[in-house]
Structures are given as C-alpha cells and as structure tokens.
Chains A and B, each alone.
Chain A
C-alpha cells in the first residue's frame, strides 16, 4: 500500500491544563473510510479540528499528502482536503448553485483549471446529490436535509483527495443521512481517504472499514468494526450496557442498547 494520505503522529491538544486530546497516532490510506467513535467529550471534535488545521496541536504533527498542516496556508490545505459537517449560518443569502460554486474557489489559481472545468464539476456535483432543482433557490429557504445535500455537492465540487466529516448525519432524517454516508463510501471506494466522526455506532458499523474508539482524549482501541465493537469495551467506554450481535441481513455488527 502507498503512503497514507493522512498521517498524524503523537497529536495532542490541551487548553488551560485540560488535556482534550492526548498524543494520538492516526493514518488514513487511499480507499479507506475510517470512523471515529467515542462518547461526548472523548475528543472526537477536537481530533477532527486538529486534522482540518483549525486547531494547532500542542504536541505532534499532522501531515496530509506530504504537507505538514501547521505550516500550510489555508489555500494549500483547501486543495488537499475538504471538511464537511461544520455549521453554516442559516441566513446565507446565496442560491444553492452559488454555494456549490464556492467549492471551486481553491482551484482558481491552478494553471490547469478552466471556467469550463468549474462548470462541469459544479453541474456533476449537483446531479450526483440530486440538488439541481434547488440550484436557483436561496440556501436559507431550504430544509436542513436539502442544505446538507448542497454542502455535500460543494464538497464534491471541491474535489479534494482527503475528506474529513464531523457527524455528517447530525439533524438529518434517515434518508438524507444514508445518502450522505453512501456518498462518503463511494468517495473512499474511488480512492480517496475519508475520516468521519460518527455519533451513531450502527452507521459506523455499516460504513467504516476501520474504527478508532476514543475515550477521554485517548485512543482506546483501533481496528475493524468487528474488533472494535465488542459489548464489554463499548459498555465501559459509553457507561451504558450495550450488546453487539450480527446484523440480521448485512455483513456487519449491530449494536443494541441493553444487557
């Protein structure tokens, strides 16, 4: 296997003496969808913000596509990674298409980019996400599911090799949620590196190739879904009795609440 696209070594983040993330190693290779799990306060969001370059880690380094994140400019980072799942102000006045076109902003200085490529990428992204019919509607007037799909289209238009997602299905109904996760799966299958924070253990079980279970800022266990999702560890980390069984008709584990 080639070098991983994301390679974080010993990353930690502390603020005012509180350790939010304590020296974690992470890699994400091409073709992989890595799920990050853990209870509230385990450090999932801090982790994704450090990987995205929003927070400078107090220890360790993050390297994406050979570039050290702490030394990169926002412009360089935007060509390499896209970030999905951060809140947008709800009153954004732009049309759906204008929002998706913003995904092409990082490419404006590339010599091999043309207005024609921009247009094609935007249209393709909107086709894929079935958002073409919202193209001329104001983003602010769309439902949260429709907004999520517009932002997904913007991410596709950005066309980065590394995709970071923070609870991509939060606030979405099951249909919109599955749409976004299957798109994430497809991006990984196309050879991109996807890392996503999951709130729902069963979504992670269905879509992730590999899982990281965080607990109080540390990496508790890492591995394939069947290795990480074991009733005893999960119950202890989440402080809730959980039981893991085989999914009745999919080839993945299923987490159930209760003893």
Chain B
C-alpha cells in the first residue's frame, strides 16, 4: 500500500510537469506553493501558472476523482453480485449514463451532463437490479446480459450525439471512449462532491457488503435487509458512475482491473478493498491519462482506449479461469 501511494504521487507530479509544454519540477512546485500563498520557491512564470494550475491541475484532480469513484464502484458491484467480473461499464451502467449525459450536455453544458449522467446511471442500475434476482445463480449470465445491454445503450448514445448540436455536445468518441482533456475546475468540483459522497456511503456499508458475499439468505439471517441494501448500493453506484461519465465519458475496465489487483493485496474485507481500490483507481487513471497524452504527442488518444487495452485481456483471463464457463 505505501508503494501504491508513492506510485500515485509520482504519477501526479509527472502529469503536472509533462506534456506539450514541459514544465520543470521546480516551476511546478512554484506554481503549487504560490497558489497556497507561499513564495519560497520564487515567482512562477505566467505561462507555467496557466498550464499547471488552469489546465493540468483540474485534469489531474478530475482523473483522481474518476479513478477512485470507478474502482470503488467496481468493488461494490462485485460484492453485491458476488462476481469478480462485474464492472460498472461492462454491465451497461456507463453507456446508460452516457445517454443521459449527452442529453444533459445539450441542455446545460458540463453541469447538465453530470446531472444527466447521474440520473441515467441510477436508472440503468435499476435495470440491473431486476437482473440480479433472476440471474444471481449464474454469475456469467449477468455479465453477458450487461454486455448486451451496454451495446444497445451505446448505440443510443450514437443516435443522440448525431442528432445533437455539435457545438455543445461532445462527439461520440468522447462519451464511449472517455477523455480528460476537457477538465475544468468546475467539472472537478461537481464530480468530486458526487464521488466523495458516494465513497463515504460505500465505506459506511462495508460490513454489509462483507455479509452479502456470504449469500443473500445468510446475510438476511444475520440482520441485513438485503433488498434495501441492494437498492441503496445500486443508487450509489449509478450516481457515482453517472457523475464520472458526465464529466469524462466512459473509461472502461477501471472497475474490473483495480478490484482484481487490490483483492490480492488487501484481502476480501470491503473496508480495506474500498480504500485500496480508491487509491489504486486514482493511480490507474492518472497513469493511463499520461499514456493517452504522451504516447502519440501532440495528438491525444482517448483514455478509455488505454484502460481497455489493459483491461480487456485481464477480463478474458478472468473469464477463462472460471470453472463455470
């Protein structure tokens, strides 16, 4: 875990410094300390302030927020569905949220996109709630159903974006592959409130998630109101995923990759899993965004392509390892 912290911090510093314009570390330090009212690293250049503070800092913080939120939601969904293949985007919540976010973006810019994403994310998770009861015996089927749902919902994102005003609504590529390039302080602030509240709610439900993993019936006998808890969990997951989609589009596989890695580090308890996943998720999105920005410089590739390039093979491997497929 301390090592993970170091990786996340290094990635954060690198993402402030590197890019189309490289800003030396000392200058990055001057900007950040200057903003905190300190001047012991000297007065930074105006250009450095513009690049580091107005462009890269909100992008960094938004990446951290999105990564932490998606990874924690992956942990929660995997606990609820008792299935380590569950990922909010693979199950269709992301594409569903993107429909609402694209409509919201047309109506009210970034805040509209986030509000629309939250609403549509929650609605899509309720479709999954109906799946859970009927399909919970067969964990692979629920994933297949989610993938089919996601494909159908992605198609609708395409229809809506094509029919919308291109000057206000970002293109389909943004919604379905994700990008942090439009990050602003405002987008970060709104997303952070939703994700922060969601993470807190999930952490408060950590023991309930532990109990759910031992089976619905067992959890109920130990005093868990399983229906109520499932509903609350799905609302929280839908809202958090929806907020991230509204801000940066669908960044796939973060909710699958991170819990998979973190489980091996911290064990099965959800208190540790959620905290560890939030940290690792932040790191994964930061590193992926660095790769997205720097690999084909000066052209940026969508960050979701980077996470999918890694996540897809891991998903296949997890699928092949299951005995019930």
Contact = CB atoms under 8 A, between A and B. Distances in A.
Interface of A: 52, 54, 73-79, 82-83, 86-89, 92-94, 98-99, 102-103, 105-106, 108, 158
Interface of B: 82, 207, 210-211, 213-215, 217-218, 220-226, 263, 267-269
B217 A86 contact: yes
B213 A75 contact: no
Given A87-B215, A94-B268, A98-B269, A106 B222 contact: yes
Given A75-B225, A78-B222, A106-B222, A98 B210 contact: yes
A69 to B, nearest CB: 13
A86 B213 contact: no
B223 A79 contact: yes
A52 B222 CA distance: 11
A93 B211 contact: no
A102 B210 contact: yes
Given A89-B82, A94-B268, A98-B269, A52 B214 contact: no
Greatest chain A CB density within 10 A among B82, B207, B221, B268 is at: B221
A93 B213 contact: yes
Contact of A74 (B213, B215, B225, B263): B225
A124 B141 CA distance: 42
Contacts of A75: 223, 225
18 contacts: A54-B220, A73-B223, A86-B221, A88-B214, A89-B82, A89-B215, A93-B213, A93-B268, A94-B210, A94-B213, A94-B269, A98-B268, A98-B269, A102-B214, A102-B222, A103-B222, A106-B222, A106-B223
Contact of B217 (A54, A79, A98, A158): A54
Greatest chain B CB density within 10 A among A76, A86, A105 is at: A105
A87 B268 CA distance: 20
B227 to A, nearest CB: 10
A169 B218 CA distance: 18
